Amino acid sequence: MTNRDLMLGQNHNLAIGHDQQLVMGHDHNMDLSQNHALELGPAHEHHMDLGQSHDHELGLENAHDQDHGLEMGQTHDQEGEHGHSYGHEHELSMDHKPEHDDRELPLPEHNHELVLSENNDLTVSENQEFDENTALTVVQNTEMGIESADHMDIEQSQLMLSTPVIQARVVAVNPTYELSVGQEFPDVKSCRRALRDAAIALHFEMQTIKSDKTRFTAKCASEGCPWRIHAAKLPGVPTFTIRTIHENHTCGGIAHLGHQQASVQWVANSVEQRLKENPNCKPKEILEEIHRVHGITLSYKQAWRGKERIMAAMRGSFEEGYRLLPQYCEQLKRTNPGSIASVYGSPTENCFQRLFISFQACIYGFLNACRPLLGLDRTYLKSKYLGTLLLATGFDGDGALFPLAFGVVDEENDDNWMWFLSELHNLLEINTENMPRLTILSNRQKGIVDGVEANFPTAFHGFCMRHLSDSFRKEFNNTLLVNLLWEAANALTVIEFEAKVLEIEEISQDAAYWIRRIPPRLWATAYFEGQRFGHLTANIVESLNTWILEASGLPIIQMMECIRRQLMTWFNERRETSMQWTSILVPSAERRVAEALEHARTYQVLRANEAEFEVISHEGTNIVDIRNRCCLCRGWQLYGLPCAHAVAALLSCRQNVHRFTESCFTIATYRKTYSQTIHPIPDKSLWKELSEGDPNATNVLEVVINPPKSLRPPGRPRKKRVRAEDRGRVKRVVHCSRCNQTGHFRTTCAAPI
């Protein structure tokens, strides 16, 4: 049987109730200290009465029917509600200890002693043992009571033995924060950290008197409190030990909610594990956790700085991200051959200016399988050094976004857009013999317009309708007008477009004038010369909003890695999903063709020759040419899929409708889009080792990119909040009573008298 310790805290008494048998073997002695009695009745009933001022209820239950007796605990001491530990004992004796001690006496794990403190000490000595026939049995419903009187009521509480005994709570101070003379620490930092943690846990503040490599002395910060501690370094080793601790605290602890020792580093150490599990934990949640666990109220700034310190240790600092950019670009090109990754710094101070990245898998998929349609957009970075992320995104056959290239610039301006579009043109020119005639959608700001004209002179450059409708809504704030604007943009014919504009004019002539100022060839489907396949918006940032915004606040390398991982996951998931498709066209195209088939069944078809058809429907008459793949409704030409009129004509001559769709809508082409793989990039700790022997990598190590000058201003950024009911409301013109001018009040008037 395993040896265990049984320890009862001060003034706690033990009583064994009715029907509890204690059978002693040969040569066993039991010594009772003064004022304690052991009664052996005819039925071996033993009563042990120990005075106590508190009632305790303990449950003991027979777990084993062994002759060796009663088992209490398994492998470690179990403490009861008031610090009692019960374990296996082979030996039993009682001794009296007259001294009072307010603390629990720690016992070795296998000291074979059963101790009752405060005038009731029960000790098992080494030379008193139970033999094999000794049995200590507690029958079910055995009761143990502890009372304030010297007499004990055996029916007040029930004692049931179980293995192991589970502790209910521990009232003793956490031993981690107990300080004692002779206590050792690995080094001075560990010593300081332990003293700081003890001060926070015990709610007193500490003032450092001396602190160097060989000694550390501190006192209680409360005036008049005699508490003082001194620790020193042991000779020949870095270990520190506590030499002296003077007096106990008389200050009663701190009276305010904060704590002097609760530094930013302490906050970082306190929440490190939580941030590793959930990096998105907010400073407010950190404040709540520290207050709940430690009872300390800190400022928001301390929580934010503590989080930033841990995040910098986990993901690297913002400055390190810029410094390692040249090496990151080399590793990207090494692991993803054919990819483009280049970084540029200012010529004088080599501060970061521009970064351009495009993966070979994206280049291949766009040029060989995607529609010749690109959307340009940007999102502002929320990191320490700000900047702007530029995006060029295509669309796959199923209509999903297909990011082609990314650019990071120190600020959004005309020069940086010109540079980004120049890099985009170069990558397309290098990777294809025949440059595709692109259709480009953007907000058509000056820098983008100039860049498209300079680098893609044959491209069709149209407005992204999201930007256009947002501007229109800000100007007129009328939902009906905005909906009519979208209907006008989607109109396939000039007649339909003009009808919608007239409807707008009937509601608001100003709105109609606003629309007519913008050339319809730049946004209206009826006039647009390029092929947008039904995509009126680039809508890039909104579509990527779920993860691109999170990435925009990370250090630059971590941000690009977040983007790369997302692309890598997309490629793999879409590749695997497409392998399960069994039809000819991608799902979205199949649905459009199915809808066209449903409508075509009601149309009347008249054939003019082998290629030309007249299709009559309730909407009117349309002419279809299956050789040139066009219809008078313009649906076939604009969307790349046969419209309902074309489907009716094809069915009439028994043609396969799927053969008359654009190749980008076929599953075979879709699989080709994601046929290449975006490969992972090793951890930065391995870059130097992996680059050994590469002359290009050696040259890159000598290049150092410094952070940009565009440092984020301190404080919370100001936001201009506009209530929904205030949108479109005419602003009140204020008048100055001092100078009789408008635009300001008397209190802010700067005009001379």
The confidence band for 680, taking pLDDT boundaries of 50, 70 and 90, is very high
Q: Reply yes or no on whether the pLDDT at 89 is more than 60.
A: no
One-character DSSP codes across 472-516? HHHHH--HHHHHHHHHHHH-SSHHHHHHHHHHHHHH-HHHHHHHH
Q: Which two tokens stand for residue 608?
A: 């003019």
Per-residue model confidence (pLDDT) at position 644: 93
One-character DSSP codes across 36-85? ------TT-B-------SS------------TT-----SSS-EE-TTS-E
Q: Reply yes or no on whether the pLDDT at 103 is more than 80.
A: no
Amino acid at 334: R
The confidence band for 711, taking pLDDT boundaries of 50, 70 and 90, is low
The confidence band for 269, taking pLDDT boundaries of 50, 70 and 90, is confident
Amino acid at 3: N
CA dihedral 598, 604, 607, 610 (to 10 degrees): 0
Task: Render pLDDT for 170-208 as a digit per residue (tens, 0 to 9).
Answer: 323 344 677 888 889 998 888 888 888 888 888 888 899
Answer yes or no: are the C-beta atoms of 717 and 553 closer than 8 Å. no
The confidence band for 424, taking pLDDT boundaries of 50, 70 and 90, is very high
Q: Characterize 393-422 residue by residue with b for buried, 16 or more Cβ atoms within 10 angstroms of its Cβ, and e for exposed.
A: bbbbbbbebbbbbbbbbbebeeebbbbbbe
Per-residue model confidence (pLDDT) at position 72: 35
Q: Which residues pair with 211 in a beta bridge?
A: 216
Per-residue model confidence (pLDDT) at position 416: 94
- Poorest-pLDDT segment among 65-69, 349-353, 475-479, 722-726: 65-69
Per-residue model confidence (pLDDT) at position 406: 94
Per-residue model confidence (pLDDT) at position 545: 63
Q: What share of the chain is helix, strand, coil (3-state, %, to 5)?
A: 35, 15, 50
Task: Render pLDDT for 313-326 as a digit per residue (tens, 0 to 9).
Answer: 877 788 889 999 99
Answer yes or no: are the C-beta atoms of 136 and 92 closer than 8 Å. no
Task: Render pLDDT for 528-562 as a digit per residue (tens, 0 to 9).
Answer: 888 888 888 876 766 676 677 778 888 899 999 99
The mean pLDDT of 384-401, rounded to a whole number, is 90
- Poorest-pLDDT segment among 309-318, 391-400, 505-514, 730-739: 730-739
The residue among 22 and 246 whose pLDDT is bigger is 246
Answer yes or no: are the C-beta atoms of 25 and 129 closer than 8 Å. no
Q: Reply yes or no on whether the pLDDT at 366 is more than 90.
A: yes
The overall pTM is greater than 0.75: no
Give the separation between CA 646 and CA 638, rounded to whole angstroms: 13
The residue among 22 and 509 whose pLDDT is bigger is 509
Task: Render pLDDT for 619-667 as a digit per residue (tens, 0 to 9).
Answer: 889 999 999 999 998 889 888 899 999 999 999 999 999 989 988 999 9
The mean pLDDT of 696-723, rounded to a whole number, is 67
Per-residue model confidence (pLDDT) at position 123: 37
The confidence band for 56, taking pLDDT boundaries of 50, 70 and 90, is very low
Per-residue model confidence (pLDDT) at position 719: 55
- Poorest-pLDDT segment among 72-86, 206-220, 484-498, 526-540: 72-86
Answer yes or no: are the C-beta atoms of 158 and 143 closer than 8 Å. yes
Of 83, 86, 87, the residue nearest 105 (C-alpha) = 83
Give the separation between CA 455 and CA 426, rounded to whole angstroms: 9
The mean pLDDT of 697-701, rounded to a whole number, is 67
Q: Reply yes or no on whether the pLDDT at 2 is more than 70.
A: no
Q: Reply yes or no on whether the pLDDT at 111 is more than 90.
A: no
Looking at every residue in the chain, the average pLDDT score rounds to 75
Q: Which residues, 6+ apart, have CB-to-CB distance to 25 below 8 Å?
A: 130, 131, 132, 133, 134
The mean pLDDT of 557-572, rounded to a whole number, is 93
Give the separation between CA 517 and CA 527, rounded to whole angstroms: 15
The mean pLDDT of 418-431, rounded to a whole number, is 92
Q: Reply yes or no on whether the pLDDT at 578 is more than 90.
A: yes
Task: Render pLDDT for 133-158 as a digit per residue (tens, 0 to 9).
Answer: 333 333 333 333 333 334 434 333 33
In the chain, the percentage of residues whose pLDDT exceeds 90 is: 31
The confidence band for 80, taking pLDDT boundaries of 50, 70 and 90, is very low
The confidence band for 698, taking pLDDT boundaries of 50, 70 and 90, is low
Q: Reply yes or no on whether the pLDDT at 97 is more than 50.
A: no
Per-residue model confidence (pLDDT) at position 541: 67
Element (H, E) at 460: strand 460-463
- Poorest-pLDDT segment among 72-81, 430-439, 536-545: 72-81
Give the three-state DSSP class for 527.
coil
Per-residue model confidence (pLDDT) at position 713: 59
